[in-house]
Structure 1
Amino acid sequence: MSFELAIDWPTFLATAWQKKPVVIRQAFRDFQDPISPDELAGLAMENEVDSRLVSQTAAGWQVAHGPFSDFDHLSESHWSLLVQAVNHWHPAAAELMQPFRALSDWRMDDLMISFSVPDGGVGPHLDQYDVFIIQGAGRRRWRVGNNDVVAQHSPHPDLLQVAPFEAIIDEVLEPGDLVYIPPGFPHEGYSLENSLNYSVGFRAPSGKELLSGFADYVLAQELGSRRYQDPTLGLRDNPASILTEEADSLRAMISGLVDSEDFTPWLGEFLSQSRHELDIAPPQPAYQEDEVRDALEEGTPLHRIGGLKVLQLASHTFINGERFSSTVPGFLNLLATTTEIDAEQLSPFIEENSVLTQLTGLINAGYWHFAGEEEEGDE
């Protein structure tokens, strides 16, 4: 199943991206849901999958976290089941991410899918990342406010909401419609009937996440061992004072690490790590190189597992937090740009022993699999 998104990206980026929320009617024409409510509920029963159930009762807001054993206790209204990173576990749903690759792989986070009954929602809230919300089966009313709302409160320890706001968008979305919401714009959606929604979220690391991640890398690699020096030290009137030039020198020691050649490999490793668990299932038994060659010569395509980030920065390629290199031009670029690789695309490379060895290792790591191998696990 493939999805075609009717959007003029240059115009959208110039007029809407991180500027204003917009509704795009029939962004996906003749939209067909890639997943059923029963399949979504099945995923929410799995230990590896991040899911939650949000409901509103007379006693207030309630939140329960999966995995769930059953849903028999639920009423016919006022609840939503939300499942994160469905693109990691459901290949058909993962196809919804493809049209958004135009905005770069490293910025895309995951596909969250929600099933809601009438009046189901999570209340008025705001996000600190860009999100495209696609309407699947059913209808849902969306209200979006301006980005001048900052006060948040927690009606439940696991919910962060905002006060009621004046809407600048108040629309009912139908299958195939899409609403884009930039960071900081409050919004709320309530189902008018049983409905499915698909949220494509974008990653936006904070400064403290970057600093913390790089600090961990510096420690692990034993970098930054050079100590502070002051060969021109002089006397001062106040022994308690730290001189401005001394503070500048200390700051330069930190910025020197960030400006060093070590920052680029760390950044690639950091950004290529998934925030959610991947559906990694190494083949048993492991493939031998000649078996990989035979499968490719028979024309069997290779599929990348859902949610795996393959990124390129400078001369490096990064796969799930690891740095890779190849002496064969174009091979790693093919892995990075293509999620489903035809055997014919690999034929120019496969005669190189180093490529065959590297490809076999990636298959045995569970990052790529031959077409058809996922079917048994999806049943």
Structure 2
Amino acid sequence: MHVLGHLSVEEFLRDYWQKKPVVIRNAWPGFTPLLSSQELAGLSLEEEIESRIVEEQGKDGPWSIRKGPFTEDDYRSLPENKWTLLVQAVDHWIPEAADLLEHFRFIPSWRIDDLMISYAVDGGSVGPHYDQYDVFLLQAEGQREWRIGQICSEQSPILQGPKIRVLEQFDETERWVLNPGDMLYLPPQLAHYGIAQGECMTYSIGFRAPSQAELAQAALDDILASSSEDCRYTDADLQPQAEPGRIGADATARLKQLLISAFDDEERLQTILGKLMSEPKYPEQLPEPRDDASWEELDEELQEYQPWRRSEFARFAYSQHGDNCRFFALGMSWALPASDSAGVAYLANHSHYQSEQLQALAGSEPLRNLLVQLWQRHLLYSPEIEFAD
């Protein structure tokens, strides 16, 4: 199914992605919600699941926010209107939610962050705000009115007092009402204000967009881990200076070149990006690896069970460069020969696998070792095994 409606992927990327919003009517005809509002609230009772409730007029004042886990008493104490429940990373816990994200793979899958589901009663909202990342807002149930405003930045005034970032000023430019199956795309930094019209549920598909600071930190960590004491600032082209205390343009040019040379390595940059973008969203929730893992044990399960799938908490990516290819998961990198690039691409480009195809990869020792390590870390599993257990 194509969720861009009347738009082709090429048209969407050219005219809208990271440029301007677009409403796609009936993007998902006959969409059936994955969870009821009661089931969504049930997830928010779990300690390991990130959840929030936002009230426009709460006990702590305007736009109050509480973080889960919640209790049934918390829900009983809520007012009749103007509150919203948000449950983050539902795709980590519900395989069907992870499958929903497959429809958005026209954007590189290593950019996809998670699926957040929000439930709101009449008038429920999180206030006028903006996000630093792209988002698709799929209306699952009921109606929500979306108001679009100005382009914002970190200098945009924020209301003082609320613990959530609500814009002090909202300059509305357009508004739409979304019905079930409709979808709104919003580029980064665009102010928006969603208000529930009656009870409604909205699915938010967000994307990873590391900041310059995060990218710089990841790059510097990599550089520092492999730096040499012999690589230093030099000035073999030094000329006589009338002002010995002055740092001139020639000195800054040398510094600039020294820094550029440290990053002038495409394979290194691919590795830095691959490790950063495959980091788990909740590393503290990763399951403990199996104590022992061998190809014989994995092969036995591959022969008995199928199909197989990538674990919901995992993000896979790969890169190719010269005689090497790399596979990324959990913020880690595996180097393999270029001859294994097709197998690495198969693992990274899909989330569902057949046993026969995985067994075929084992003809290569590096790929066989990779499969074992992924299985050992619970990044590959068969739903049949869980059902059998």
Give the TM-score of the pair, scaled to structure 1. 0.90
- Corresponding residue number in structure 1 for 2:43: 43
Match status 1:313 vs 2:319: yes
Q: 1:243 aligns with which of 244, 248, 268?
A: 248
Matches within 5 A, 1:173-322: 173-222=178-227, 226-260=231-265, 262-277=268-283, 280-282=286-288, 288-298=294-304, 300-314=306-320, 315-322=325-332
Aligned equivalents of 2:246, 2:188: Cα separation in 1: 42
Counterpart in the other structure of 1:360: 372
What is the CA distance between 1:61 and its match in structure 2? 1.7
Distance in 2, Cα, partners of 1:364 & 1:358? 10
Once residues 22 and 258 of structure 2 are traced to their aligned partners in structure 1, the CA distance between those partners, rounded to angstroms, is 45
CA–CA separation in structure 2 for the residues paired with 1:24 and 1:224: 56
Distance 1:326 1:216, change over 3 A: closer
Shift of 1:278: 7.9
One-letter amino acid of the structure 1 residue matched with residue 327 of structure 2: T
**What are the residue-to-residue correspondences of 1:1-379 with 2, within 5 Å?**
4-7=2-5, 8-57=8-57, 59-70=61-72, 71-147=75-151, 151-222=156-227, 226-260=231-265, 262-277=268-283, 280-282=286-288, 288-298=294-304, 300-314=306-320, 315-327=325-337, 329=340, 330-352=342-364, 354-374=366-386
Question: Could you tell me how far 1:285 is from its partner in structure 2?
Answer: 7.0
- Structure 2 gaps, min length 5: none
Letter matched to residue 110 of structure 1: D
**Cα separation, partners in 2 of 1:72 and 1:273, compared to 1, 3 Å:** same
Stretches of structure 1 that go unaligned for 5 or more consecutive residues are: none
Residue 97 of structure 1 aligns to which amino acid in structure 2?
L
Is the contact between residue 25 and residue 183 of structure 2 (CA under 8 Å) also seen in structure 1?
yes
Hey, what's the Cα distance between the residues in 1 that align with 2:35 and 2:288?
A: 25
Distance 1:283-1:147 versus aligned 2 partners, 3 A rule: closer
Amino acid at match of 1:63: I
Report if aligned partners of 1:280, 1:305 keep a CA contact under 8 Å in 2.
no
Contact 1:142 1:189 in 2 (8 A): yes
Amino acid at match of 2:57: T
**Root mean square deviation of aligned Cα:** 2.5
Cα gap change, 1:376 to 1:42, in 2 (>3 Å): farther
Q: Describe the SS at the equivalent of 2:106.
A: helix
User: What is the distance in 2 between the residues matched to 1:223 and 1:370?
Assistant: 45
CA contact (8 A) 2:311 2:380 kept: yes
Corresponding residue SS for 2:219: helix
Q: Secondary structure at the match of 1:309?
A: coil
Q: Residues 30-52 of structure 1, C-alpha deviation per residue, up to 9 Å, x if partnerless?
A: 00011222332232233332221
- Kept in 2, the 8 Å contact 1:88–1:279? The answer is no
CA–CA distance in structure 2, aligned partners of residues 286 and 138 of structure 1: 49
Supply the AA of the counterpart residue of 1:186: A
CA distance in 2 between counterparts of 1:158 and 1:224 reads 46
Deviations 1:225-250 (A, max 9, x none): 51212234444222220122111111
Contact 1:331–1:349 (Cα < 8 Å) also in 2:
yes
In structure 1, the residue corresponding to 2:312 is in which secondary structure? coil
2:333 partner letter: R
Query: How many pairs align?
Result: 375
CA offsets 1:10-63 (integer angstroms, 9 cap, x no match):
122222222221111110000001122233223223333222111111732211
